[in-house]
Amino acid sequence: MKKIKIQIVKLGKQKYNKLFAKLEKYKSEIFEVEVYEVSRPDCDYEWGYTFRTLEEILDKAFDEKNYDICIGFVDTIIEFNYFGKRLKDNNIYIVSFFQVSDFLITEKIDVFNYMLSTIYRYSTRSILRGKYLTHDETRGCIFDMCGEKSDIIYSCQNPIICERCKSKIEDIAHPSGFVELLSKEILKIKKSFYHRIAGFIKLHPYLSLGMGMISAIVFNILSSFIYDWIKIWHI
């Protein structure tokens, strides 16, 4: 299938600047990105940017000739304290890190997962020509509405495409094999290996202790065997 070309717009210097460099190196068969930075005007930090202001900024920055959609990222609060919003037609979106990053870091989830989940969500909407998929119920689905902002943690670690969303996608014209490809790619959205191991140990302390003891015994036996084998070959 033809990749969705995405213009990523970083609004000003941000706390998570490194994530944008990581995003440019990310490999996907669904989308490709290029990152641009634009300055942002002063805003009321109690109420944040209005959708109108954000739309004006991104509409001006959006290169419609070379990109299919534009996604802006900002690290301050936006109107209604949303974490994401479609601003114009089906090709300009805004995403905020405000509060979301705190929820994710508390759960030991990489903030980069949040970037990916939103990009996959908006890419899918573009492929489906703007068809609405999100749902109120939190299912760990990449299309969760997340009425409670903290629920974002469920679609940023091992997300799924729920059966309802799969069914809706199947009813909409889309490239052959798209659902399977999307399901495969969102498997990358998971905790780091270190935090998965740490989480397992926390949930299963006695099992982890037993496995550690068995591993130590096996390692000791193997070490002794290798040592004896080396001695024999050097005699």
Q: Are both 173 and 217 inside the same structural domain?
A: no
Q: Are both 65 and 125 inside the same structural domain?
A: yes
Per residue in 154-194, pLDDT (tens digit) is: 999 999 999 999 999 988 878 889 999 999 999 999 865 43
79 contact partners, CB below 8 Å, separation of at least 6: 47, 48, 49, 50, 51, 54, 85
Q: For position 133, what pLDDT does the model report?
A: 85
Residue stretches of the chain with pLDDT short of 70? 43-47, 191-235
Q: For position 196, what pLDDT does the model report?
A: 40
Q: For position 199, what pLDDT does the model report?
A: 40
Sheet (strand 92-96) strand order: 31-38, 4-11, 69-74, 92-96, 84-88
Q: For position 208, what pLDDT does the model report?
A: 45
- Nearest to 76, CA basis, from 11, 166, 25: 11
d(CA 102, CA 59): 29
d(CA 137, CA 124): 19
Q: For position 200, what pLDDT does the model report?
A: 37
Q: For position 219, what pLDDT does the model report?
A: 60
Q: For position 41, what pLDDT does the model report?
A: 74
CATH of the domain at 167: 3.40.390.10
- Its pTM stands at 0.81
Q: Are both 185 and 224 inside the same structural domain?
A: no
Q: For position 144, what pLDDT does the model report?
A: 94
Q: Are both 219 and 156 inside the same structural domain?
A: no
Q: For position 198, what pLDDT does the model report?
A: 41
Q: For position 132, what pLDDT does the model report?
A: 76
Domain hosting residue 186, numbered range: 4-196
